[in-house]
Amino acid sequence: MASEFRARGAKQASPPATLPPPQYQSRYPPRDHHLDADERKALAQPGSLKQSQHAFGGLRLASSEWKLLAGIVVLALCVRLYHLGWPASVVFDEVHFGKFAGKYIHGRYYVDVHPPLAKLLITFMAVLGGFNGEFDFKEIGLPYPSDVPYVLMRSLPALMGVGVVPLAYLTLRGLDCRPATALLGSLFITFENGLITQSRLILLDSPLIFFTALTVFCWVGFSNENHQEPFTEDWWLWLALTGLSLGAVASCKWVGLFTIATIGVATMKQLWDLLGDLKVPPRVWMKHFLARALCLIVLPITVYMAVFEIHFMVLQNSGDGDGFMSAQFQQSLKGKGMHDTWADISLGSEITLRHVNTQGGYLHSHEHNYPTGSNQQQITLYPHKDGNNNWRILAGHSEGQPDHDFATEPIKWVSNLMSIRFEHISTKRRLHSHDVRPPVSDVDFQNEVSAYGFPGFVGDANDNWIVEIEYGDSHDKHSSGRLRTLGTVFRLRHALQGCYLFSHKVKLPEWGFEQQEVTCNKNAVKANSLWYIETNEHPQLGENDEKVNYRRPSFLSRFLELNHVMWTTNAGLTDRHAFDSRPESWLTLKRGINFWVRDHRHVYLIGNPVIWWLSTAAVVTYLLARGLLVLRAKRQYKDLNNSFIVKYDQICGFLTIGWFIHYFPFFIMSRQLFLHHYFPALYFAILLTAAIFDLATSSFKPKIRLQVAGVLIVAAVWTWWHFSPLTYAGEWTRGKCDAAKWRKTWDFSW
């Protein structure tokens, strides 16, 4: 439809036929019904045609505006950096992100649910400040020793928080809003207590919001270029910047995926419009499409992967994140390497058996019995190397097990469908299963697995397991026919019960030392009943026999594995937290988060209620107005032919979609959520507030508009001041604190 209006508008505004046609299409159709005060003023001035020149990113800033912008930045610096060193102890999630900086410095591998970019930047600041990584950020309230450059570390999020302010100003200007509007929007960002609190601490949200704002700004610039003239150098520059920035958002936190979705939706809208523009030939359309695919898909993925490459390069040593990763992955970490081990498995081999699908580790037994069922010795999975993981493979003879001397017996390889037994080396008991329910998964298709036997007992048929080879390694051709260390993946079927040796992510209670449960499952999911042999020794194998080891995983497989682990860990964060909240409570600022309390001082994350509530009201206003427009259009009112309405509908629609995409997906997440997850959406909502202000005051004289903006700004600054003791952990009287509880659900004064 847009093209229709453009065509009609162009007809009215087109110059006499003698003049050359206009060089570019204006972003919005000329306002045929409406001229606001600014335009009247601008038209009255000589040289108003200057506007028609190509502007970089569509930004037309007067030189006085740059001075204004500089002033705003200085103000934001004061607001964000004031007493940055206080509280001089660990606050809230600095526990995690400070600790990670230490791990990077020592290169010790860790696993966290967030991508590494923001943490790497914080680490960079820590290194600049000479942090040695010894401080462990153990708990909230722990005072910082003098050798921890925590102020410098905090200054990174703080400076990025400052950066959001001019970005908001320029984005609003790029969206064709007036300077007064941009001033209002950027000051709202400056004085938003929640954004201030979050950016003054070693947290990831400030970099996230900064890159989100940067992306939006670049995208607006690109859209303006696109309307002026596509495929210019500037056009490519803005597009590439958008892509780089998108990659950075996603590399800070996965919430950045919502920013990608926002830009994705806007791109699809652009392409859809281009598709409907019959003046654009298919070849050019394809060029449009490929350029965007290159810059907005390929480029961000490259950035994201590059950040992980740096992450892996820094974290070279084994650390407390090892246990999350596969054995192959761990092989790539220093201090976790395994010596080469013999490849051929035969009767009499002393082996360790590892579960494929979980990181539970090795088949394990120890001198403790089950308190339930058969009361026989426990079988578990244990993640660490230990002598109790060692088993010897024996032949499965139902009539008894003669004592072999494997050092002299002829070697007999373990082939598919062979019946074998496993003898636990240190306790001499054998892996055993029977028709007894296991202790935790007490259901009728699960059997208990135990270690059973005593000196002189030759064992019984319940010790027999049948090897069923599932698949071998393509590099080792023997491995699909007989057992080979590391190469063969197989299942173990109990000869009598028909069940499969099985393990899953279920922990035994304290009596089993919280190790992972092992059962014999008649309906085993295949993935959880697969095993392989990790180490192997045999008295007859010597130095000259074939040895194997894990292959060092490629970057891509490590990258994919880590992302998979992050995903499952993230989805598993479902425990309740005392200050978690659900998305519906964010709109009304129902409750904040207690970050830090000490000596009657308090850091409590809460937004600036005036700004916050105004932003929510702006969203509701736009949605209602838009709904009304749709209904009116259905009854044939011609509102949408009014270019003035169309212009603001496009601005507000873009911002509202951004808000929606950064907000709504949280409803379907079941993990624990916090108020600060709303901040990216809040950024869009505040810009929307400004845009609606621009619309509402468009018929005002500039001076009056500035005065209205001034009143709103004063209200915002006053509330900021009012709640600042919570933001800066300042001094407050009991009475003032109680009086500041505007809502009963704000729980900052106990």
Partner 1 sequence: METLRFSWIIAGALFVMALALRFYKINHPDQVVFDEVHFGKFAAYYILREYYFDVHPPFAKLLFGLVGWFVGFDGKFDFANIGDSYSIHQVPFVGMRAFPAFLGSATVPIVFWIMKESGYPTAIAAFSAALVLFDNAHVAQTRLILLDAALVFFMALSLLAYIKFRKLRYHEFSPAWWGWLFATGTFLACTLGCKMVGLFTFLTVGIAVLVDLWQLLDVRKGLSIEQFYRHFAARALGLIVWPAIVYLSFFWAHFKVLKFSGTGDSFMSPAFQETLAGNELLLNSQEIRYYDTITLKHKDTKVFLHSHEELYPLRYEDGRISSQGQQVTGYPHNDTNNFWQIIPTKALPATGRGRIVRHKDTIQLLHAKTQSYLLTHDVASPLMPTNQEFTTWYPDEENSRYADTLFTVDVLEANEGDPWKSKSGHFRLVHVPTKVCLWTHAKALPDWAYKQQEINGNKNPAERTATWFVEDIIGDETGEDLRGRTVKVEEKKVKSRNFFKKFWELQSLMLAHNAGLTASHPYATGPINWPFLISGISFWTENDKKQQVYFIGNVASWWACSLSLAVILGVMTTDAIARRRAINPIPDDIRNRLLNNAGFFVIAWACHYFPFFLMSRQLFIHHYLPAHIASALVAGSVMNFIVTEAIDFPVSHASATAPARRYPRTHTDIGSKAIAFLLGYAGLLFGLFLYIAPLTYGTPGLEGHAVNRRRLLNTWTLHFQAKEHESIVAEDAHVSDLRPLAILT
Does position 572 interact with partner 1 (CB under 8 A)? The reply is: no
Task: Rule CB under 8 A: say whether 286 interacts with partner 1.
Answer: no
In the three-class reduction of DSSP (H, G, I as helix; E, B as strand; rest coil), residue 16 is classed as coil
Rounded-to-integer distance, Cα 313 and Cα 216, Å: 31
Residue 536 φ/ψ, nearest 5 degrees? -150, 135
Asked whether position 498 contacts partner 1 by CB under 8 A, the answer is yes
Site for partner 1, residues 515 to 544, rule: CB under 8 A: 522-523
- To the nearest whole angstrom, how small is the minimum distance from the Cβ of residue 286 to partner 1? 13
Q: Considering only residues 16, 20, 46, 282, which one is a binding residue for partner 1 as defined by CB under 8 A? A: 282
* Distance between CA atoms of residues 645 and 658, nearest Å: 20
Closest to partner 1 by CB, 283 or 339? 283
Token readout for 698 is 């468009």
Stretch that binds partner 1, among 77-85, 271-279, 452-460, 552-560 (CB under 8 A): 271-279
Distance of closest approach, residue 481 Cβ to partner 1, in angstroms:
13
Nearer to partner 1, 62 or 417 (CB): 417
- Assess 417 for contact with partner 1 (CB under 8 A): yes
Per-residue contact string for residues 612-641; x = within reach of partner 1 by CB under 8 A: -------------------x--xxx-----
Residue 23 or 415: the one with the smaller Cβ distance to partner 1 is 415
State in angstroms the smallest separation of the CB of 146 from partner 1.
Answer: 28
Cβ contacts of 710 within 8 Å, gap of 6 or more: none
Spatial neighbors of 26 by CB under 8 A, at least 6 apart, are 52, 227
272 binds partner 1, rule: CB under 8 A = yes
Q: How far is the CB of 574 from partner 1 (least distance, A)?
A: 12
Q: What x-and-dash track marks residues 366-405 binding partner 1 by CB under 8 A?
A: ----------------------------------------
**Which is closer to partner 1, CB of 181 or CB of 488?**
488
510 binds partner 1 (CB under 8 A): no
Nearer Cβ to partner 1 (282/735): 282
Amino acid at 442: D
Shortest Cβ distance from residue 747 to partner 1 (Å)? Answer: 12
Phi, psi of 593, rounded to the nearest 5 degrees: -125, 135
- 174 with 217: CB under 8 angstroms? yes
**Which residues, including other chains, have CB under 8 Å from residue 209's CB and lie 6 or more apart?**
160, 161, 164, 195, 198, 199, 679, 680, 683
The rounded distance, in Å, linking the Cα atoms of 196 and 192 is 6
| Residue type present at position 407 | A
Q: Which is nearer to partner 1, 142 or 151 (CB)?
A: 142
Q: Binding partner 1 by CB under 8 A: which of 70, 275, 411, 571?
A: 275
Longest CA–CA span in the chain (Å) reads 113
Of the pair 624, 631, the CB lying nearest partner 1 is at 631
* Residue whose C-alpha is closest to residue 686's, from 626, 592, 619: 619
SS (H, E, C) 538-587: CCCCCCCCCEECCCCCCHHHHHHHHHHHHHHHHHCCCCCCCCCCCHHHCC
> Whole-angstrom Cα distance, residue 389 to residue 353?
8
CB nearer to partner 1: give 493 or 676: 493
Residues within window 425-464 making contact with partner 1, judged by CB under 8 A: 444-445
Q: Could you give the residue ranges of the DSSP H alpha helices within 175-294? A: 179-190, 193-199, 205-228, 233-252, 256-276, 282-293
Which of the residues 166 through 195 are near partner 1 (CB under 8 A)?
none
Least separation in angstroms between residue 417's CB and partner 1 is: 6
Is the Cβ of residue 617 or residue 633 nearer to partner 1 in the bound state? 633
- Of residues 667 through 686, those in contact with partner 1 by CB under 8 A are 668
Residues 414, 466, 610, 691: which binds partner 1 (CB under 8 A)?
Answer: 466
Q: Other C-beta atoms within 10 Å of 684: how many?
A: 26
CB 393 within 8 A of CB 422: yes
Q: Which is nearer to partner 1, 252 or 420 (CB)?
A: 420
Long-range contacts of 718-721 (CB under 8 A, 24+ apart): 719/191, 719/193, 719/608, 719/609, 719/610, 719/611, 720/79, 720/191, 720/192, 720/193, 720/196, 720/608
Minimum distance of partner 1 from residue 466's CB (angstroms): 8
In the bound complex, what is the minimum distance in angstroms from residue 650's beta carbon to partner 1? 19
Contacts with partner 1 by CB under 8 A lie at 272, 275-276, 278, 282, 416-417, 444-445, 466, 498, 522-523, 631, 634-636, 668
